[in-house]
Structure 1
Amino acid sequence: MTSFILLAALLVVAVAAILLPPLLRAPRSSGGADQREATLAIFRDQLAELERECANGSLAEADFEQAQSELQRRLLDDIQPPTSGQSDARPGRKTALALLVVLPLAAAGGYALLGNQAALDPLQRQARVTPQQIEGMVAGLVAKLRENPDDSKGWLMLARSYKVLERFPEAADAYSRAGALVDQNPELLADYAEVLSRAQGGDLQGKPTELVERALKIDPNEPQALLLAGAAASDRRQFALAADYWARLLAQVEPGSEEARALATAVERARELAAQTASGKPAGQTAVASGSAVSGEVTLSGEIAGQAAPDDVLFVFARPDEGPRMPLAATRARVGDLPLRFRFDDSMALPGGKKLSDFKTVSIEARIARAGKAQSSSGDLYGTLSGVKPGSQGLRLLIDQVQP
C-alpha cells in the first residue's frame, strides 16, 4: 500500500508541475496609454473591414450590427482601467493555488468514494482459485506426467492438489510416485501418512504409522508427525505413548491458543486412560459406569442392499445433536460385516474432542461410503438416529436412504 501511495503522490506532483508554471508566470505589463492606442488602432481596422464587407454585400446589415456591437464590447473590456481596490493581477495565481489544494483532495476523495482499498492488500490481490480451476490444472498436470513420469516435483504438486480436492486415494498414489523427494522430507512423509490414512477411512495403522515413524527419525519434533503418532498410539490403546507425543507437540504451539487448549485436553485424557490401564481397570470404565455409553445394531434395508458391495466401507459415527458436527466417536467396518454391533463410550472420544457425556442427546449415523472416505458424497447409503440420550442401549439403526 505504501508504494501505491508514493506513486500516486508523484503523479499528482507531475501533473501540478505541468499545469502550474503557465498560471504562476507574472502577467505582462499592459503598456499604459500606448497599449490602449494600439488596441484602438486594431479596433478601427476591424471596423473598417466590417464596413467594406457590408458595402459590397458579403455581410448582411443585421450581421454587421451584431459584429459591430461585439467589437465595441471587446474594446471596452480591453481598454477599461482597473477600478479602485480591484487587483490587476491575472486570475492564474488563484487558479494555481486552487489546483495545489484541489488536485490531491480530489484524488484522495475520489479513490475513497470509488476505489477498492482492499485491492491494495497483497493478500487480497491473490487470485481465489475455485475447485473447478483446480480440477482443470490437475487434468493438465496429469497429462504432463504421462509424458514425463519421472518428474518428482510434478507428482508432489499433483498429490497436494488431490488432497485439496479431498481425493485421498489419488493423493496417496501420487505421493508414492514422488520418490526421494518425499522419502527425505519429514513434513512430506507426515502429509503422505495423513492422506493415506484418510484414504483408508481414518485408519493410521500399517503403512501410515511406518511413514510417521520415518518422519520422526528425521525430525523428532515434526508437528504433524507428532499429532499423527499420538493418534495412532491412542488407536492401539497405548495411551501413555499418545500422551507423550501430544505433550511434545503442545510444547511447540502458542500458549493459550485454541490449538494449545485442545492438545492439553487430549494429553490430560490420554494420561487418565493410561492411569486406569496401569491400575488394572479397563480403560473407559469410569465412562461406562456413568451410564454414558450407547450401543446397538446397524442393518441395511433390503430395498437398497443391491446398491452396496460387500467390500464397501461402512462408517458409524456419534455426533452432537446441537453445536459443531464433529464426531464424538467413530468406528469403521465393511458392508460384509452387517448386521453390525456397535458401542460408543467416553473412552472412544477423538483426540482433543468432546465426549458423549458432555451432551444431553446425540445422533448416531451409519454411512456406506461409496468413495471410501468419511465425508459424505453423492451415492452414499446412510441412516440416522437423532435424539439419542447417552446411556441408551439396544438401538436399531437402519441404513435406508441414498445421498443425492
Structure 2
Amino acid sequence: MTAFIAAAAAAVAIVLVLLMRPYFGRLAPGQSSRAQLNAAIYREQFAKLEQDLGEGTLSQADYAQAKAELQRRVLEDTDVADQQSTVVGAPRKTMIGLALAVPIVAGALYLQIGTPAAMDPLATQAAGAGHGQITSPEQLEQMVAALAQKMEQEPGNSKGWAMLARSYKAIGRPADAQKAFERAGSFIDDDPEMLASYADVVASNAGTLAGKPTELIDKALRVDPNHPMSLWLKGTADFEQKKYPQAIATWERLVAMLQPGSDDARMLEGAINDARSKAGLPAGAVAAAPTGVNIKGTVELDPALKAKASPDDVVMVIARRPGTRMPLAVLRKRAAELPLQFTLDDSLSMDPSSRLSSVREIEVEARISRTGLAKQEPGDLLSQAQTVKLGADGVALRVAKVVQ
C-alpha cells in the first residue's frame, strides 16, 4: 500500500509541477502508528478463531458471533494517526483551484474505477488473518517490547498502559499484564471487558478467584450485568468457594444468552450439572419460580420508529426497584421478534440474593439497543417506564422514544 501511495502521490505531483511550474507541493512524512500492535494482536485472535473452526471445537454460529465481536473491537480500538497532508504554496486563486482539483479528481476517478478496499488497512489485515498471514510470535514480542519502552516514557498514559496489559495477556505474560493493568488505574473502571481481563490475570497469578479478582468481576457486572466473560468468572468464583447455588444461578443466566446446542452452551451445561451434583440437586433440574411472582406483558415498537431499528438490535425488558437504576431482572430478545410477549420471573434475576420475588412493586421498561450494553446510549429506543405490582399481567410497553 505504501508503494502505491508513493506512486500515486508522485503522479499527482508531476501533474501539478507541469501545471504550476513555479510552485511545488511537498508531502510530509508520516509517523508509524501504534495501531500496528493492536492489528497484530487481532490477527492472532482471528487466526485462532479460524483454527478452532477448522478443528471443530467452535460452531459456525459461534465463530460468526466471535468474529463480528473482534471486528467491532478492531474498529473501536484502532487509532489511525498516520495521515499525510499536502502543503501547497499558491498565492493565486487559479493555482489554488488547480492544486485542489487535481488530487480530488484523481481520487474520484480511483473510487470509480480502482480498488479502494485495498487502501483500507483494517480490511487488508482482516483478510490476511483469514488466510493465515499473521505476525510471528517473535515480531509480536518485539512490538510489545517497543510499546513497553514507550510507556516507560509516558507513565501517565492510562490508555497506553491498558493496551500494554491486554498485549501482555495475549502473549501469555500474566505477571506483566497485571502490573500494566495496575498502571492503567481508573481508566478501565467503566470497561467490563478490561475489568474481566484484569480479574483473569490476577487470578492466574494468585491461583484463585477469591479476593481482588472477585472484586473486579463484581465491578464489571455493575457496569454490564450481562457481560458474558464476567458472568462466567463470577460463577467460577462461586463454584471455587463452594457456593454452588449461586454458581448455578449465574451460569444459568449465561447459558440463556448462548445458542442452544452450541459447544459453549454444552460446556456450560456440564459445569452447571457438576455444580448441581455437588449441591445435591438432580442434574438438569430447573428451579421453578413460585406461582404469582412474575410479570407478564407485551412490547411493541411505535410504527414511527421502525426505520430506526434493525432486526438484530437487542430488545431488553428491564425490571427495577422503583427509583433505582440497578436491574433486578432483564429479558433479552431480538428486535425481529417484535411485537413480543414477555414474562419476567426469578429465573431472570440478576443477583441470587436480590430476586424479583423479593419486592412487591416493580418498575418495568423496554429498551432497544444496537450494542446490547446495559448503559443507555444515544440512539437507543425506549419505552415509558411503568410501576406495577408483582404478579401483574397484561403490561403493555410501547417503545416510542429516542434516547438523545
Band the TM-score falls in, shorter-chain normalisation: 0.3 to 0.5
TM-score (structure 1 length as normaliser): 0.41
TM-score (structure 2 length as normaliser): 0.41
